[in-house]
Amino acid sequence: MANADSAAAPRRERADARRNRQRILEATIELVLEVGGEPPRDTVARRAGVGIATVYRHFPDQQQLLRAVALEVLDRTIAAGCATLDESGPGGEALRLYLHAAIDAGLGVVNIVHPLVEDTDWLDRRAAAEEVLDRLVAGARADGAVGPGTSAADIALAAIRFCRPLAIGLDPEAERAVAHRQLDIYLDGLAAGAG
Partner DNA sequence: AATGAATGAGGGTTCATTCAT
Partner DNA sequence: AATGAATGAACCCTCATTCAT
Q: Contact residues for DNA (CB under 7 A)?
A: 13-17, 20, 38-43, 50-54, 56-58, 60-62
DSSP H or E run through 156: helix 152-163
For residues 80 and 74, what is the distance between their CA atoms, to the nearest angstrom?
10
- Identify what 58 binds: a copy of itself, DNA, none; CB under 5 to 8 Å per kind: DNA
Written as one letter, the residue type at 177 is A
Give the nearer residue to a copy of itself in terms of CB position, either 2 or 192: 192
For residues 145 and 140, what is the distance between their CA atoms, to the nearest angstrom?
5
Residue 114 burial class via C-beta count within 10 angstroms: exposed 0-12, middle 13-18, buried 19 and up: exposed
Check residue 12 for interaction with a copy of itself (CB under 8 A): no
Q: How far is the CB of 165 from a copy of itself (least distance, A)?
A: 9
Give the nearer residue to DNA in terms of CB position, either 41 or 76: 41
Give the contact letters, 72-111, x = binds to a copy of itself (CB under 8 A), - = no.
Answer: --------------------------------------xx
- The dihedrals phi and psi of 2, each to the nearest 5 degrees, come to -85, 80
The answer to whether the CB of 148 falls within 8 A of the CB of 193 is: no
From 3, 5, 114, 148, residue interacting with a copy of itself (rule: CB under 8 A): 114
Please choose, from the candidates 71, 46, 44, 53, the residue with its C-alpha nearest in 3D space to the C-alpha of residue 17: 53
Where on the chain is the footprint of a copy of itself (CB under 8 A)?
A: 37, 110-115, 117, 150, 154, 157-158, 160-162, 164, 166-169, 178, 181-182, 184-193, 195
